[in-house]
Chains A and B, each alone.
Chain A
Amino acid sequence: MASLRCFLRSGRNAVSVILRREFHKTSPAALQVTVRDALNQAMDEELERDERVFLLGEEVAQYDGAYKVSRGLWKKYGDKRIIDTPITEMGFAGIAVGAAMAGLRPICEFMTFNFSMQAIDQVINSAAKTYYMSAGVAAQHSQCFAAWYGHCPGLKVISPWSAEDAKGLLKSAIRDDNPVVVLENELMYGVPFEMSEEAQSKDFTIPIGKAKVERQGSHITLVSHSRMVGHCLDAAAVLAKEGIECEVINLRTIRPMDIDTIEASVMKTNHLITVEGGWPQFGVGAEICARIMEGQAFNYLDAPAIRVTGVDIPMPYAKILEDHSTPQIKDIIFSVKKTLNV
């Protein structure tokens, strides 16, 4: 977050210079955009750009989307392109895959990814495996599905954090010729982020498979995805006051994972912590640690790499319990200090 602000600050100065000289011209300044609006923009732009793109899912059309992510799209594009489905996940996921097989580019929205479990057969057996065997998407609700879908060859899995991530990654996903699972975190929908000029363009995409260093640091590497990236940056801000500089990496893509960026960082900082909202067993952090151990960065570790994860329990209902079942900022700070032995 800190580095992003720096970038924008300098951007704004340049813009204000231009404004003074040619005050009659207005250039778009960096503005605040929520994740929800960024996703909406991404879909709008792609629907406009390519006739084959269409959206289907529960309540996406006339209701404007259960979480309002597709607000306004039905009014603009109509029944043909924005389709309300009955509550039949397996059915409409299959229909989406079939339409893709026949040349269209569907965006299949699951109201929550829990519901996608009913359709997981279509996603994995029909979508992911078909190209290989023929020799030629959603919001998180209470559970992180990164590990589930990330396990499967033939799928690409992305996990945006910021509004820019959301917009850029979703656009790339729509343009990709392969099945892409988009893990949106519903808790992030209403969170505003500054969106750069570049990101406001209709051609702005973020490549799938590339992580981003959100904050530079020299003492320890924190690797995360989705909502936890924000937690890592907040923890980093607190730790900076005590002289500990964390490097925060936003994975952006779960599969294919950008292990190179992580390795380069670990070789610089010599310490690694992975932070995720999902359960520990067989998860994203487990995969990262395994790969680091197998690769060149292992020799640069001064301490074992550790994982900060959700508690290994089904998601509880009571708010206080729910809050304590995923990593909090204090958990990250605690783990950093333990790893650095301070």
Chain B
Amino acid sequence: MQKMLTIISNVLRGSASRNGTRVVVSARTYADFTPQATFDIKKCDLHRLEEGPPQQAVLTREEGLQYYRTMQTMRRMELKADQLYKQKIIRGFCHLYDGQSLTDSSQEACAVGIEAGINLTDHLITAYRAHGYTLTRGGTVREILAELTGRRGGIAKGKGGSMHMYTKNFYGGNGIVGAQVPLGAGVALACKYQEKNELCVCLYGDGAANQGQIFETYNMASLWKLPCIFICENNKYGMGTSVERAAASTDYYKRGDFIPGLRVDGMDVLCVREATKFAAEHCRSGKGPILMELQTYRYHGHSMSDPGISYRTREEIQEVRSKSDPISMLKDRMLNNNMASVEELKEIDVEVRKEIEDAAQFATTDPEPPLDDLCNHLFYNDPPIEVRGTNPWTKLKSVS
């Protein structure tokens, strides 16, 4: 309620600064909007499950605005990262989340939908395409962009970069393909051990899905009934290799074999949310792990160094973008059901843009980490030690 009133007052304030007529048009009160609506969502394909998630989802106005804001923030943030990378202000590896890789993502629906289905006290781990999740798990745009530009205000003090961002109950951000899956099961083991009714969401891509260690993990997670939701974000391409060329079976939701699975429309935030809720319930009731395949699409190339068109056509990308963009889908739903106004959403866009600009400003002006931080954080909770520099006379200090 508070948030809604704030949003409305922001809208009115914003519009008032423009011109008189617009103030009149946008002076709608809360009572004018539909507070909530029910939407049909795609049925999920099921594996070893008698029933799946519901085929209808209730969306409140408040939730809708919040999802919209978060998804827009994610998209704009990734577009800004794209820009900064092209300006060479961001270096190294940069795997963007919009459209899954960089820009135009469809991944926004995944991150926002998943978070809507779990609690902040639950745990999450993913691979290297992690900026979106860093945001949904409590990171700020400022901290994320400043980490990409390698500044001291970055979420990892500038020492991790794009692939190593962490927040509470969010374990990154992992560079080695597939390695995060056993880690995620380990976190789930800790959840079960500590009996706090928490679970771990463990994400990986269609490329990683063929890794041996993932099957080792399926086995142990199932044996020990670990509260782990395995999620395969299938964006149809493992770098430049389409799924048909990499996997003997592209039914990723079935690859867990003895683990029940569902295939979910990853472009629809409501579908993702309902599936996640269903999966979370499964884990929390002690039934063990469950697998979700989110079908999404990557507009951009694999990373900043990949234009993304050598292995597929521009037409293909355009078609997906025009038909299934998750943000457009949410926007249309809300507008068609009188849950928000065009102006209101435009206001959110303006605010988001401002937030990103401010963050980019910070990320480009914040100083780099101090040199004497070079050797710090080698160990946790240890007395300070000396570290050899590049030659025997250089001894550097390291504190925990």
Contact = CB atoms under 8 A, between A and B. Distances in A.
A114 to B, nearest CB: 18
B379 A92 contact: no
Contacts of A130: 164, 172
A96 B186 contact: yes
Interface string A58-99: 000000000000000000000010010110101111111111
A131 B189 contact: no
Contact of B392 (A126, A132, A177, A294): A294
Given A134-B172, A153-B378, A256-B385, A104 B190 contact: yes
A126 B183 contact: yes
Nearest to A178: B379
A154 interface: yes
Q: Place the interface of chain A in its size category.
A: 35 or more
A135 B182 contact: no
Contacts of A93: 182
Contacts of B176: 121, 125-126
Contacts of B223: 86
A303 interface: no
Given A95-B183, A102-B191, 11 more contacts: A86-B220, A86-B223, A91-B217, A92-B216, A125-B176, A126-B183, A130-B172, A134-B172, A136-B380, A177-B379, A177-B382
Contact of B186 (A86, A98, A177): A98
B377 A132 contact: yes
B370 to A, nearest CB: 12
A136 B216 contact: no
A279 interface: no
A54 interface: yes
A133 interface: yes
A174 B239 CA distance: 40
Contacts of A90: 182, 212-213, 216
A98 B184 contact: yes
22 contacts: A85-B220, A86-B216, A86-B219, A88-B220, A90-B213, A90-B216, A91-B217, A91-B219, A92-B182, A97-B183, A98-B190, A99-B189, A100-B186, A101-B187, A103-B190, A104-B194, A126-B183, A134-B159, A134-B377, A135-B158, A135-B377, A156-B379
B157 A135 contact: yes
Contacts of B191: 102
Q: Place the interface of chain B in its size category.
A: 35 or more
A185 interface: no
Interface in A120-159: 121-122, 125-126, 130-136, 153-154, 156
Given A88-B220, A154-B378, A177-B382, A134 B186 contact: no
Given A94-B179, A98-B185, A178-B380, A133 B193 contact: no
Most chain-B Cβ atoms within 10 A of its Cβ — which of A88, A98, A103, A176? A98
Nearest to A88: B216
B52 interface: no
A177 B382 CA distance: 8
A106 B182 CA distance: 14
Given A97-B183, A121-B179, A131-B378, A102 B156 contact: no
A130 B200 CA distance: 19
Most chain-B Cβ atoms within 10 A of its Cβ — which of A83, A96, A102, A295? A102
Given A90-B213, A95-B220, A98-B182, A178 B156 contact: no
Interface of B: 123, 125, 156-160, 164, 166, 171-172, 174-176, 179, 181-191, 193-194, 200, 212-213, 216-217, 219-220, 223-224, 376-382, 385, 387, 392
B186 A132 contact: no
Contacts of A121: 176, 179
A91 B220 contact: yes
A255 B378 CA distance: 13
A135 to B, nearest CB: 4
B160 A94 contact: no
Contact of A134 (B166, B212, B216, B376): B166
B179 A122 contact: yes
Nearest to A129: B164
B185 A95 contact: yes
Nearest to A92: B220
Nearest to B216: A91
Nearest to A291: B392
Nearest to B171: A101
B144 to A, nearest CB: 14
B179 A125 contact: yes
B216 A131 contact: no
A130 B381 CA distance: 15
B178 to A, nearest CB: 9
A101 B200 CA distance: 12
A248 to B, nearest CB: 26
B342 to A, nearest CB: 42
A131 B377 contact: yes
Interface pairs A-B: 3 shortest CB-CB? A98-B186, A94-B182, A91-B216
Contacts of B125: 98
Most chain-B Cβ atoms within 10 A of its Cβ — which of A94, A104, A136, A177? A94
A286 to B, nearest CB: 15
A132 to B, nearest CB: 5
A242 to B, nearest CB: 37
A181 to B, nearest CB: 14
Contacts of B182: 90-95, 97-98, 122
A125 B173 CA distance: 12
A54 to B, nearest CB: 7
Given A92-B220, A133-B159, A125 B175 contact: yes
B123 A102 contact: yes
Interface string A295-325: 1000000000000000000000000000000
A95 B164 contact: no
Interface string A162-177: 0000000000000011
B175 A131 contact: no
